C-alpha cells in the first residue's frame, strides 16, 4: 500500500502530486534540495518530483573551473624561477587586466629612469663628486656587489618582489645603487658623448618597443637561446679584460647592444601576454619593470662605450 511509503496525495491547483511526509514536516531547505536530487533518504520509495540528475551533471567541468587546467597551464622557468606561465586560458588574457598591468610596469619604469637621469646628471656636472669617487674606486666595486645581491634576492624570492611595500623598497634601493654605478661610469665621458648616447638609447628603445607590440614574431620562445647568448657574451667580456684592444672593445659593445635589444623585445612581449606563448603573471609588475630597466641601462652603457 502507499502508506508503507509514507506518501499521500495532495491537491495543488486540481493536480495530484505525490509529496513525502518528511517534506510536509518542514525539513530544512538543505534537506529539501538534497531530496529533490537524490530522493527522500528517510523514504526511499517516494519518487522525487524533480528530474533525476546524472553523475555527469553534478561533476564540475574544466571550462568552469580554472584549476582543471593545472598542471599543464603553468610552467616554471629554469632561469631563477621567473614564473613564466602559458598565456592560453588565463585571466591575464582579459584586456582590462593586461592594460592595467602594462601601465603599472611602465609607470614604475619611468620613475626608475628619472631617478637614474638625475643621479647621473649630478655625477657628470658636479666635478668635486667626480674627483672623489674616481679616487675611491672601492665605492664602485662595493656597490656593484651590492646590486648583484639585490638582484639575486628579487629574482629568487617571490615574497620580496610580490609583497608590498617590501617589493617597492627593494626596487627603490636597487635603482639608487644602479644609478650610482651608471653615474660613476658616465662621469668618465664628456657631457656631449653622454647626451648623444642617451638620445640614441631613447630612439633605439622606443623603436624596439613599438616593434615588440606590432610584430607577429614571438620572441618569448627564445628564452633559452638568449640565456646561452648571454653566457657567451659574459665569457667574451671577461676575455677582453686580458686581451684588451680597441677592435675587441668595439665588437663587445656592438654585440652588447644587439643582445640587450633582443632582450628588450623578449621582456616586452613577456609583459604583453595575448597570443604570445609565454607571459609573466600580473602579480610580477616589479619583476617586469626590473627586466625592462636593466635592458635599457645595458643598452645605454654599451652605446656609450662604442668608440670609433
Non-local (6+) Cβ contacts of 199 within 8 A are none
State the pLDDT at residue 239. Answer: 87
pLDDT at residue 270 tops 60: yes
pLDDT at residue 220 tops 80: yes
State the pLDDT at residue 164. Answer: 83
Check whether the bond before 304 is cis (ω within 30° of 0).
no
Check whether the bond before 205 is cis (ω within 30° of 0).
no
Check whether the bond before 165 is cis (ω within 30° of 0).
yes
What pLDDT band is residue 307 in, cutting at 50, 70 and 90?
low
Separation CA 219–CA 7 (nearest Å): 70
- CA 251, distance to chain mean position in Å, is 32
pLDDT at residue 172 tops 60: yes
pLDDT at residue 98 tops 70: yes
Task: Please give the model's pTM, rounded to 2 decimal places.
Answer: 0.68
Separation CA 261–CA 217 (nearest Å): 15
Higher-confidence position of 288 and 46: 288
Q: What residues does 12 pair with on adjacent strands?
A: 15
| HSE-up of residue 165 (Cα within 13 Å, Cβ side) | 3
State the pLDDT at residue 62. Answer: 42
Q: 277-300, pLDDT tens digit by residue? A: 778 888 888 999 999 999 999 999
State the pLDDT at residue 274. Answer: 66
Q: 107-131, pLDDT tens digit by residue? A: 999 999 999 999 999 999 999 998 9
State the pLDDT at residue 223. Answer: 87
- CA 137, distance to chain mean position in Å, is 36
Three-state secondary-structure class, residue 74: strand
Separation CA 241–CA 293 (nearest Å): 26
Give the count of beta carbons closer than 10 Å to the beta carbon of residue 205. 20
Amino acid at each position: 500500500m502507499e502508506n508503507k511509503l509514507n506518501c499521500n496525495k495532495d491537491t495543488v491547483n486540481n493536480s495530484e502530486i505525490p509529496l513525502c511526509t518528511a517534506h510536509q514536516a518542514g525539513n530544512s531547505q538543505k534537506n529539501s534540495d538534497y531530496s529533490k536530487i537524490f530522493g527522500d533518504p528517510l523514504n526511499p520509495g517516494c519518487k522525487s518530483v524533480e528530474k533525476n540528475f546524472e553523475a555527469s551533471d553534478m561533476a564540475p567541468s574544466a571550462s568552469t573551473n580554472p584549476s582543471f587546467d593545472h598542471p599543464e597551464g603553468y610552467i616554471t622557468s629554469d632561469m631563477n624561477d621567473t614564473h613564466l606561465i602559458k598565456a592560453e586560458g588565463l585571466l591575464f588574457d582579459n584586456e582590462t587586466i593586461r592594460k592595467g598591468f602594462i601601465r603599472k610596469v611602465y609607470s614604475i619604469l619611468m620613475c626608475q629612469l628619472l631617478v637614474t637621469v638625475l643621479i647621473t646628471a649630478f655625477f657628470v656636472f658636479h666635478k668635486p663628486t667626480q674627483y672623489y669617487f674616481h679616487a675611491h674606486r672601492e665605492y664602485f666595486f662595493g656597490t656593484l656587489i651590492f646590486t648583484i645581491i639585490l638582484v639575486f634576492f628579487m629574482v629568487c624570492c617571490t615574497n620580496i618582489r610580490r609583497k608590498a611595500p617590501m617589493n617597492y623598497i627593494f626596487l627603490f634601493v636597487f635603482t639608487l645603487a644602479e644609478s650610482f654605478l651608471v653615474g660613476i661610469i658616465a662621469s668618465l665621458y664628456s657631457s656631449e658623448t653622454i647626451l648623444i648616447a642617451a638620445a640614441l638609447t631613447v630612439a633605439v628603445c622606443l623603436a624596439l618597443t613599438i616593434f615588440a607590440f606590432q610584430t607577429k614574431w614571438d620572441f618569448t620562445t627564445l628564452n633559452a637561446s638568449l640565456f646561452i647568448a648571454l653566457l657567451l657574451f659574459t665569457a667574451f667580456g671577461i676575455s677582453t679584460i686580458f686581451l684588451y684592444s680597441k677592435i675587441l672593445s668595439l665588437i663587445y659593445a656592438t654585440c652588447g647592444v644587439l643582445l640587450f635589444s633582443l632582450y628588450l623585445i623578449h621582456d616586452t612581449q613577456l609583459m604583453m601576454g595575448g597570443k604570445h606563448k609565454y607571459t609573466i603573471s600580473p602579480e610580477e609588475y616589479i619583476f617586469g619593470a626590473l627586466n625592462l630597466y636593466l635592458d635599457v641601462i645595458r643598452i645605454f652603457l654599451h652605446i656609450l662605450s662604442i668608440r670609433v
